[in-house]
Structure 1
């Protein structure tokens, strides 16, 4: 009798393991109409997209459609072009591409300015302190992101640097998804890894501040900015990050990929 039970259990396990699994990725593609002309534009401008398989590229485009359907993009004092919207949507998808059901519930609108701006959100030539490329809004700008169009395009046109302003700001939104912007991506990082993660972060920040790192200096100002700066590096130059900072690469991979 016991042998019959064991065989039955094994058959159930075998059936479950062999049964085709309905993937969320397939569901995301259903009823999503993607303009055909997007593909060559993305190939030309988005290195991350270019490295994906054909099926992954299809999924990437579908996720861009979903993002644009739920997010308002407003150009301030210039006429918005399609490439502007595509670059913003791609920036949103890249850091969460491996997550099947991610939505930026803390974002409703992206305001895109023609140039860099200051703390008063002024961007004309007479305004002083115009050195901000992007930010996640607070107060009356809660659920808003503000981006410089110039910085947005530079982030994708320069294929050899380690930075991307728009990706940086979307990583801030991911950090903020748990209700607190603290540089600890609780929605991505398993609880048991929090302490090792913070220990690694502060060690890397110390290296930055002692001028012993190739990670951008801004990453040394706080653990909040470190996450966003290191995230830019991870998506822009993954092979270089893996070679120069293998521990950090593995930790970020566990957050954004695994």
Structure 2
């Protein structure tokens, strides 16, 4: 059996090699059979009008022409690509001509992983389901395939790891991942947004909120967790958190 250090070196080397191979692909037309797969797996897409579904197609293909996706110790499947692209499009669907200029590649791992990027079966601390890279992983995202599929298998649990990570990238567009998405949130809404963040985080800490507890970690995580909730179960958020729902709707403009 390989020692932990050797396993880490192998995984780190494989990750670095995979990152070097990530190159954007030429933009292609939307494969018609993807429509059925999106209807089956992506509730956000299913709720769109036929005209808006076509716009969703276009945004997916634009994303795939700009960002490469690579499987790490797994054979990348068609549905993997579809779900990752859909995750990227959902939070920016209301924006015209959006580009993730702070992302060049996505690495898909078979399972959750630890801080050493180790997803070995015998590891007990595999708690990371997704992350936006920094340092040598700058402009890269790592996602767990297990978490990716779980995010789309339950449309009412308010959790979607891939959307969570793409929201972090939206937050980061102004230079800081701080929970204040100034790149898309008009200046006049910043103070009300901060007020709501602090009120909702206090409720999380008091355990009187149905927003996932991880949202109480800091402002950046609150924005990402609340955004998962917004896109996964907007009707429930509108009923239980009307102020938060209104500001997130203003921020994302999903009905555009």
Q: CA deviation at 1:193?
A: 1.3
CA RMSD of aligned residues (A): 1.1
Structure 1 length normalisation: TM-score?
Answer: 0.87
Matched, 1:87 2:99: no
Distance (whole Å) between structure 1 residues aligned to residue 116 and residue 123 of structure 2:
9
Conservation of the 8 A alpha-carbon contact between 1:71 and 1:110: yes
Tell me the equivalent position of 2:63. 67
Conservation of the 8 A alpha-carbon contact between 1:32 and 1:62: no
Q: Aligned ranges for residues 139-218 of structure 1 at < 5 Å?
A: 139-218=135-214
Distance (whole Å) between structure 2 residues aligned to residue 179 and residue 211 of structure 1:
32
Tell me the equivalent position of 2:14. none
SS in 2 for 1:250: helix
Matched, 1:226 2:232: no
SS in 1 for 2:142: strand
SS in 2 for 1:188: coil
Question: 1:186-219: CA deviations, max 9, x gaps?
Answer: 0111112111110110000000110000000000
Question: 1:52-78: CA deviations, max 9, x gaps?
Answer: 000000110111011011111010001
Q: CA deviation at 1:32?
A: 6.3
- Which residues of structure 1 form unaligned runs of 5+? 1-30
Conservation of the 8 A alpha-carbon contact between 1:168 and 1:229: yes
Count of residues in correspondence between the two structures: 228
Structure 2 length normalisation: TM-score?
Answer: 0.87
Conservation of the 8 A alpha-carbon contact between 2:28 and 2:65: no
Whose Rg is larger? 1
- With a CA cutoff of 8 Å and minimum separation of 6, indicate the structure with the bigger relative contact order: 2
Deviates more, 1:81-90 or 1:157-166: 157-166
Distance (whole Å) between structure 2 residues aligned to residue 49 and residue 36 of structure 1:
14
Matched, 1:100 2:96: yes
Tell me the equivalent position of 1:15. none
Runs of 4+ in 1 over 3 A off after TM superposition: none
- Which residues of structure 2 form unaligned runs of 5+? 1-26
